[in-house]
Amino acid sequence: MQLFYSPTSPYARKCRVVARERGLMAALEEVVCNPMEDPPELQSKNPLGKVPALVLDDGTAVFDSPVIAEYLDGLGGAETLIPAAGPERFKVLVAAALGQGMTDAAFNVTMEGRRPDGESSPAAVERWRAAILRGLDHMTAHIQGQPGDLTMGHIACGCALGYLDLRHGDLNWRGGRDGLAAWFAAFDARPSMRETDPN
């Protein structure tokens, strides 16, 4: 399999962490690309031109990050990161959605900041930042409610926090959130996170 990724993409990082946690690296080739340059090798696999994009051995393309992460999770054996059914499954999926949504908001703020002067929307940025801050205030409860020591919820939230560190240090997300900061410090020390650190 091939995984097309950008080193700074929080979406790709989530999938790369899953691949490492599920012991799949011997079967996975990671291919660096810059989606902003519209590389044809990426667009031929993912018509949306986004990373990550996973190409299976038979040429089938899988996208986007929640789908790739779940696909990789299913390749790794019995103890999956997403439970198969029941209330525990939805606790994990909701926590993963929280991490994904915060990542979306943070990515939107990043991209809005790159627009030419006069074309960005301060109101949109403020709305996205407010969503991130609300998500941070709810994240600890979702993490504590996870049905295991490592789930897709943990990974999605951890990668979201890592992206805030990379692009939005001005948010000072640790301020007043000692429990969340302590959890992230431990999670960020995992080999899968160290190996995919964009810094």
The DSSP string of 22-54 is TT-GGG-EEEE--GGG--HHHHTT-TT--S-EE
- State whether 123 and 171 are in the same domain: yes
Boundaries of domain holding 115: 86-195
The CATH number that applies at residue 44 is 3.40.30.10
Q: What is residue 177's predicted lDDT score, i.e. its pLDDT?
A: 98
Q: How far is CA 2 from CA 51, 163, 194, 196, in A?
A: 12, 23, 21, 16
Q: What is residue 117's predicted lDDT score, i.e. its pLDDT?
A: 87
- State whether 38 and 98 are in the same domain: no
* Block mean pLDDT (10 aa), the chain, length 199: 97 98 97 95 94 97 97 92 96 98 98 92 96 98 97 98 97 97 98 96
Q: How far is CA 25 from CA 2, 16, 29, 82, 195, in A?
A: 10, 9, 7, 19, 12
- Please tell me the distance from the alpha carbon of residue 190 to that of residue 164, in angstroms, as a whole number: 18
The CATH number that applies at residue 104 is 1.20.1050.10
- Please tell me the distance from the alpha carbon of residue 69 to that of residue 82, in angstroms, as a whole number: 10
**pTM for this structure?**
0.96
Dihedral, 77, 186, 7, 30 alpha carbons, nearest 10: -20
- Tokens read off for 22: 């599920």
Helix (H, G, I), strand (E, B) or coil at 62: strand
Q: How far is CA 38 from CA 7, 10, 44, 47, 190, in A?
A: 16, 19, 10, 10, 33
- Please tell me the distance from the alpha carbon of residue 15 to that of residue 21, in angstroms, as a whole number: 10
Q: What is the largest CA-CA distance in the chain?
A: 53
- Tokens read off for 117: 């002067």
- State whether 109 and 71 are in the same domain: no
**Is the residue at 138 inside a domain?**
yes
**Is the residue at 44 inside a domain?**
yes
